[in-house]
Amino acid sequence: MLAVLQAPPGAPGVYRLPDTPVTALTGERMDVCGFAGVAPRGPVRAPVFDEHWRDGVPCVEPDRPRRRTVAVAVESFDAYRRLFGGFEGPGLLPYAVAAFFEQGGRRAYVARIVHHYDSAQDGTGVSSGVLDGVTPAAKLVARNEGRWGDGLRARIDFRTRALDFLGAATGSLTLGADSDVTAGTLLRLILPDGTRVLRFVAQVLEQPDPLQPRTQRRALLEASVPAVPDTAETVEATLEVDDGEGRRERHERLGLHRAHPRWVATVLCYESELVWPDANWAEGSFLPQSVELIVPATGPQQFHGGADRYADIEHADFFHEKDWMPQEEEPGNGVQAFARLLDLAALAVPDLYSPLALPPSESILDPVSVAGPTFERCVDLPPPAMEQETSSGELPNLQLDPQLPGDLAQIIELQSEVVRFAEQVRDFVVLLDVPPGLSHRRVLEWRSHFASSYAAAYHPWLQAARRDDSRDRLIRVPPSAIAAGIIARLEIAFGVPHGPANALAREIVNVDEQVSPARHDELHPLGVNVYLKERDGVRLTGARTLSREAAWRQLSVRRLMIMLRRLLERQMQWAVFEPNGPRLRGRLTQLLTLYLRGLFRAGAFRGAAEEEAFFVQCDEALNPPPVMDAGRLIAEIGVAPAEPLEFILLRLSRDGDGTLTVEE
C-alpha cells in the first residue's frame, strides 16, 4: 500500500504515517443469480490452477487435474450465447437465463452440466483439427465438447519485419540495446547467395558496446547457418479462429517456440474461448511449412469428432462426485461449483429434471413458386426433397413425470439435495419450481417436504414465446427463472428490504395453469409464491420462503440477514490484527451503528426509534479480561427486520343517508 506523508519531515528520524481507517461500511451485492443446466456448448472440464501448477505456461498437461463444472459470469444474454450457444439444445437453461435478463437481471453465473464418466471418455466428444501450413503437424482441440466444434475453422498466417543488426556471424547476431528480440523469436535469414533459412533465437545475452558507453544484445541461434547472413527478418504469426456461427477470434504477434513470451500454445490457453492447443506440441515448437511463408487453403471441414452427449447426463451430474463440505478450499462440481462466488445471492437449476421434452426445432423453407407470365391450370406440387430433421437430442436420464408417485419422490429428493447445499453454505437462497401438472392436493404434499428459509418455491410454470427461437411454439419456462429476474430488478431499484413480489413478469404470454382465488388463499400462507394471470399481464404475488418459522417466512428477511453476514465477514477483516482494546471496540460500535442506522432509515427494520430496531453491543461486559487474553473480540448485533406489507385492510361503511365510505 502506498502511503504519503502529510508534511515534509524536519530533522532525520522516523515519522509515523497517518492512519487510513475504514470510514464506512457498504452494502453487499444481492442481485446476482446462478443457473445450472444443459447447454450445447460452454466451459467444462477446465484445467485447475493452483500453487501446484505453473501459471503462464500451456495448461494442457495430460496429468493436470480438470474441474468438470465451471461457473462463468455473464452480463447479458448476448454474452451467454457467445459462450453457451442459443436455444438449439434440449435443455431449459437458455430459456431460464434469457428470462432472467428480460426481467431486469444484470449479472448471472452459468454452469454447464455434463456427464462424469470418470474414465478416458471424459475427453471424448470434443472436435479437433490440424492447423495447415506448419510443421510438424499442430492439432487444435475445441474448447469443450459438442457438435458445435465441427464447424470450427482455424488459419495461421505469417508476417515479417525487417531486423536491424550491428553485426552477424554464422551462429549469432549482434543487436542494439533497444531490440525487442527475445528467446524463441523466429528469424528468417537471407544468405549472400539469396538462400533463405529459418532459425529460432536460443538465447539473448547482454554485453558491453566496445564503441559506446552502453550495452548490446547478442542473439544466439539454435543452429548455425551456412554463411554469414546479409539481412534478417523476424517472423510472427497471426491465428484466426471462426466457429461458423459468428464467433471469431484473432490472436496476433504470436511466437512459434515455447520460449517466446507469446508462444501460440500459451496464448490459446489463456486468451481463446474456442480452442485449446493439443498437449503433444504445447511444450515444443513448429515452423512454417514453406520458407516463403505461404499457407495453403484449408479443406471444406477442418474439425471433426464433436458429439452432443446429452443422453448420458444423469441427475447425479448436478452434484459433486462425492460428499462436498463447505470447509473445502476449492468449489466442487455440479451445483457445488457456485460455492465460492462472493456475490451470488440466488440459485436456480432449471434442468435438474426434465418434466417434458422440448418441441423440435422447425426449419423455415422458402416456398416453391410456379408463377409465370400467363395463367395456367393449377397443378399439385410434389413434396419438397429435404433431409429428415435431426433431433437435437433429448434428456432421457433426466426425464421425470411428476404425475408418477415414484418420479415425484425423486424430484423432491433432488430439490432437497440442492436446498441442503444452500443450508451448508448459508450464502444464497435456492429458487425451486413446483413440479408442473400437479393437482392441488399433490402440490400441498410436495410443499410438506420442505422447511428451509434458504429456499423459495414458485408456481405455476409460465409460457413464453421467443422471436429468436427456431421452435415456433410456446415454451414452458420454470417460474424460478422469472422470479430470479424480478428479485434482481427490485433489488437494484429498491434494495434488499423491499419484498421481491407484486411485480409483472416481462415477456410472459400466459400461465401454464390458472390458480383459483381459493387455492391461492391456501398456498400463500404455506410459502408457495404464485403467479396470477391478470388484465395487465402475469404477476408474481408472493415473496416467501419455505420456512415453517414465522420469523423467517419472508424472503426479504432471509436475504437481509445474508447480506449482513456477508458484510461482517468481508468488510471487518481489517480488525483481525488491530490492538484489542477500548479504542477498537468503540470504532467497531460506531461503524456498525452508522450502517444499521442507514438501513433503519431505509425501512429495513421495525420500530419507531433506533432503540427498537437494532442494537450493537461491544463492551467490557462481553469482552472481560479472560476473553481479551485469549485474543478474542465479541460483538453482538441485534436487528428486528421489517416484513413487507402483504395485506391492506379496507373498511367499507354505509351511512344513514346511503353514502358509502371506504377507509384504509
> How many beta carbons lie within 10 A of that of residue 222, not counting itself?
16
Q: What is the pLDDT of residues 53-79, one digit of tens each?
A: 667 788 898 888 899 999 999 999 999
What does the chain come to in residues? 664
Among 14-23, 138-147, 215-224, 547-556, whose mean pLDDT is lowest?
Answer: 14-23
Strands 108-112 and 32-37: parallel
List all residues 6 or more positions away from 89 whose beta carbon is below 8 Å from its beta carbon: 38, 39, 40, 308, 310, 392, 393
Buried b (16+ CB within 10 A) or exposed e, 311-346: ebbebebbbbeeebeeeeeebbbbbbbbbbbeebbb
Distance separating alpha carbons of residues 85 and 39, to the nearest angstrom: 7
Q: Strands 651-654, 660-663: parallel, antiparallel or unpaired by DSSP?
A: antiparallel
Tens digits of residue pLDDT in 522-538 = 999 999 999 999 999 99
Region of 246 on the Ramachandran plot (φ > 0 left; ψ -120 to 50 alpha; else beta): left
Hey, what domains does the chain have and what are their CATH numbers?
30-117+308-358+393-571 (3.40.50.11780), 128-304 (no CATH), 577-664 (no CATH)
Residue 29's closest CA among 339, 338, 344?
Answer: 344
Q: In angstroms, how far is CA 140 from the centroid of its own chain?
A: 25
For residue 133, is pLDDT > 60? yes
Side chain identity, residue 14: V
Question: What mean pLDDT is predicted for residues 598-622?
Answer: 92
Cα distance between residue 503 and residue 101, in whole Å: 15
- Quick: pLDDT tens for 386-406: 333 333 448 999 999 999 999
* 335: pLDDT strictly greater than 70: yes
pTM of the model: 0.87
pLDDT given at position 347: 98
pLDDT above 60 for 295: yes
- Which three three-digit cell numbers place residue 569? 465477514
* 244 close to 216: Cβ distance less than 8 angstroms: no
pLDDT tens for 411-447 read 999 999 999 999 999 999 999 999 999 999 999 999 9
Compute the Cα dihedral for 614, 619, 624, 630 and give only its sign. positive
Q: Which three cell numbers stand for residue 153?
A: 475453422
Backbone angle region of 100, left / alpha / beta, with phi > 0 → left and psi within -120 to 50 → alpha: alpha
pLDDT of 206-254, one tens digit each? 887 666 666 789 999 999 999 999 999 999 999 999 999 999 999 999 9
Phi, psi of 57 (to 5 degrees): -125, 165
The verdict on whether omega for the bond into residue 136 sits within 30 degrees of 0, i.e. cis, is yes
Mean pLDDT (whole number) for 172-181: 91
When the pLDDT of each residue in the chain is averaged and rounded to a whole number, the result is 88
Cα-flanking dihedrals φ and ψ of residue 95, to 5°? Answer: -65, -40
pLDDT in tens, 437-489: 999 999 999 999 999 999 999 999 999 988 888 887 899 999 999 999 999 99
Mean pLDDT computed over 299-309: 93
Which pLDDT does position 8 carry in this prediction?
A: 56
Comparing 163 with 178, the larger pLDDT belongs to 163
Q: What are the pLDDT digits (tens) for 549-580?
A: 999 999 999 999 999 999 998 888 888 888 88
